[in-house]
Amino acid sequence: MSTQRLNEEKRRKLSSWHYFQKWINSNGSLSCPFGDFADRLNSQLTMTMMMSLSSICIALQYFTRPIVCYIPIEIGGSNILDYLEEFCWVNGVISAEVFNTAPLPQNDSEWRKVLRYKSNHYQWIPFILAFSGILFFLPRLLWNLLSFSSSHINDMQGLMTLIKEYAYLPLAKEVKRSHLEQSLTNTIVKLITKKQNKHFMQMERYFRVLSFYCPKCIRCFNTINLTDNYQGLFGKYMLLKLIYVVNATCQLLFIHKFLCESHDKREIHSSSWHIVSHIFSGFSNNRTQSHFFPRQVYCVADLRHLGTASKVVSSCVLPLNIINEKIFLLVWLWLAFVASLSLISIPIWLVRTNNKIAGTDFVIYLLQLVQVKTQRIPNELVRRFLINFLKSDGLFILRMVSDHTDDFIAGRAALQLWLLYHDKYRFMLDENDTEITKSIE
């Protein structure tokens, strides 16, 4: 009764923090529960932002007047200006810098040289943003495929389903929460121990032979990792992190080229500070226009009037490109933040999962949370449990479960794994370790 009362007190103290932590770590229905804030920033928030910006650009293109043209003389009917605006939007425009730096063409060959500078990049802005959002969601799909393609597919799917159900279950439903906690614990234990069964038989045979010829060698081998520390799941998660970093960096460089390349190829603004300085400063008239986002343009159209063909040059303004350039500036700043955070999260998880001191302290904390008698367990014994049994995958799963649900669930799973480890690895323990294990049971 005292142990249960102590657990209830600990649960009440940590309930507010875990509620906030679950809110931070909550996931949508389209994503896997595994992942940290950097993962959700890529697969959820960035994808949603890109799709929203794409929808805004499409609405501005088709429900507003994206281009406004002017001709100094009246040609043809009264609707010729409307036709020219539609024609120029579809066919493409020429930057005003081309006409400002060269005389007006006089023959067909000169016109062909000028028309080579025609561009219609503004038409593809919504599709570029939408494709960017899809690229941020593809790594999550790859993670699901890599996780579910292994032999423990049912355990992974079951664990993810239980985590989602537990995260959104009201605190008032104590009976259902207790059943879910037990199911989560059993699933975690099954998931971690499934890959260990073959290894137990081989190691037990090896240690019996070794103890017969060299009993003192047992303690020596207890201090080293006898198995591969990367069983698959954590390695796939690091691959997902690396893909996020590469994806965000490549898109950042792509947008950097959009923003920095002017019409004059000799004038490339390579400084990132130059981009940041224009995010809130606005655009002055003397600023060089971007080649991909021209604002003042000219349009050349072939029109027939009274049986004769003539070229009509209209002066146009693309007010939509001001919004497009502002959007790309904000996206550039956002991608720089996402790429930096994704890169920082990689060493954080490497330390959380591979640092033996931090891993040992975390396992001891989980065991002490659910079992008071485990306060006297030596660190060396826990370290061997971490190296020989949990390894990177087991510690990774326990940390993820602790982040997304509750430390008590991770602690109960750690306690069951601890007892299972000493049951199967009893041939590796000395008398003192065996007595400690019996005191826990």
Inter-residue contact 185 to 416 (CB < 8 Å): yes
pLDDT of residue 338: 95
pLDDT digits (tens, 9 = 90+) for 318-377: 888 888 888 988 899 999 999 999 999 999 999 888 888 888 888 888 888 877 554 566
Q: For residue 45, what are the contacts with CB-CB under 8 A and spacing of at least 6? A: none
Residue 214 has pLDDT above 80, yes or no: no
- The confidence band for 134, taking pLDDT boundaries of 50, 70 and 90, is very high
H runs (alpha helix) in 197-264: 197-213, 217-222, 233-260
* CB atoms inside a 10 Å sphere around CB 223: 10
Range name among 144-153, 303-312, 376-385 with the lowest pLDDT average: 144-153
- pTM of the prediction? 0.73
Identify the band that residue 305 occupies on the pLDDT scale cut at 50, 70 and 90. low
Region of 231 (left: φ > 0; alpha: ψ -120 to 50; beta: rest) is: alpha
Confidence of residue 228 (pLDDT cuts 50, 70, 90): very low
Domain edges within the chain: 1-30+153-231+355-441, 39-150+236-345
Any idea which of 31-45, 121-135, 265-279, 414-428 has the lowest mean pLDDT?
A: 265-279
How far from 166 is each of 49, 150, 178, 398, CA to CA, in Å?
28, 25, 10, 16
pLDDT at 383: 83
Indicate if the pLDDT at residue 307 is higher than 60: yes
Of the pLDDT bands very low, low, confident and very high (cuts 50, 70, 90), residue 162 is confident
Tokens coding 11: 């649960």
Average pLDDT value over all residues in the chain? 71
Neighbouring residues of 118: CB distance < 8 A, sequence distance ≥ 6: 91, 92, 93, 94
